[in-house]
Structure 1
Amino acid sequence: MALELMKLLVTGATTTEVDPTDSRLFYVTTTPTAAGGTLTIDAASFLQDDGTLLTTLPSLATNNSYYNVYINAVLQMDGISTYTPGATGVGSLAIAVPAGGSGIPTGTPIVLEIMSFSPTSTTVITT
């Protein structure tokens, strides 16, 4: 009888579900910010979707979240803002207004959109 290689037959399947969480935060400027200046918005100055004041800007999980900044309903470039998570006095959104352009006038709406993802995976191994 000839020799045979004996091996296990194993199959596996992984199912991953991603649950996105979208938060929109709102602020209306109370003073103008000139070109070349920085507008810093404290965490407690943002209104949530339900109209209540925010208390803490959430931490952004690496590779599972991001934020967008809209000024007067226009999506802004990535490098113009700095997001710092935390409660009032610590958490903030800083917007660096480029020099040589126009500033941000009083009464301008600013929207901070935060997207976070919570992936869960289930693996089934069949032998």
Structure 2
Amino acid sequence: MALQLMKLLVTASTTTSVDPTPEKFFHVTTGETAAGSTLSIDTADFFDDAGLVANDLPALATNNSYFNVFINGVLQMEGISTYTPGATTVGSLAIDVPAGGDPILAGSPIVLEVINYSPTSTTDVAT
């Protein structure tokens, strides 16, 4: 028999699942926020999908999450909001109303949507 190179035959397949876990929080403004001002909304000033007062704004998973802010049903630009996760007096949403623009009127609905992804992977190796 002639010499030959012997090597392993290995096959592998990986299945990755990326499951979003969206959470929504709602607030209705009680007063007008003038252009050039900041509207700060504490965790306890939000209510959840069940209509209950929010206890905690979720942390954002590093490199696997994002948040959206809607005012009167319109998605807002990323640069005007600052999101801080946490419980009452720690967690908040701050919206900087651009100077020279329109104010946020009293009675305006504000929706905060926080989406975290929970990726999982399984690898099957056959030799």
Q: Given the two structures, how large is their TM-score scaled by the length of structure 1?
A: 0.97
C-alpha distance in 2, partners of 1:62/1:99?
32
State the 1:2 CA deviation: 3.6
Counterpart of 2:120 in structure 1 is: 120
Unaligned runs of 5+ in 2: none
- Tell me the amino acid that sits aligned with residue 111 of structure 1: V
Secondary structure of the residue aligned to 1:35 is coil
C-alpha distance in 2, partners of 1:109/1:92?
16
State the 1:112 CA deviation: 0.3
1:65 aligns with 2:65: yes
Counterpart of 1:94 in structure 2 is: 94
Counterpart of 2:80 in structure 1 is: 80
1:16 aligns with 2:8: no
- Tell me the amino acid that sits aligned with residue 79 of structure 2: G
C-alpha distance in 2, partners of 1:84/1:24?
15
C-alpha distance in 2, partners of 1:54/1:124?
42
Secondary structure of the residue aligned to 1:79 is helix
Secondary structure of the residue aligned to 1:93 is strand
- Tell me the amino acid that sits aligned with residue 106 of structure 1: A
- Tell me the amino acid that sits aligned with residue 82 of structure 2: T
Deviations 1:79-117 (A, max 9, x none): 010000111101000000000101101100000011111
State the 1:21 CA deviation: 1.0
Runs of 4+ in structure 1 over 3 Å off? none
Deviations 1:47-105 (A, max 9, x none): 10000010111100011111000000000001010000111101000000000101101
Residue identity (%): 67
Unaligned runs of 5+ in 1: none
C-alpha distance in 1, partners of 2:48/2:110?
12
- Tell me the amino acid that sits aligned with residue 107 of structure 1: G
C-alpha distance in 2, partners of 1:92/1:27?
12
Counterpart of 1:3 in structure 2 is: 3
- Tell me the amino acid that sits aligned with residue 72 of structure 1: N
What is the alpha-carbon root mean square deviation over aligned residues? Answer: 0.8
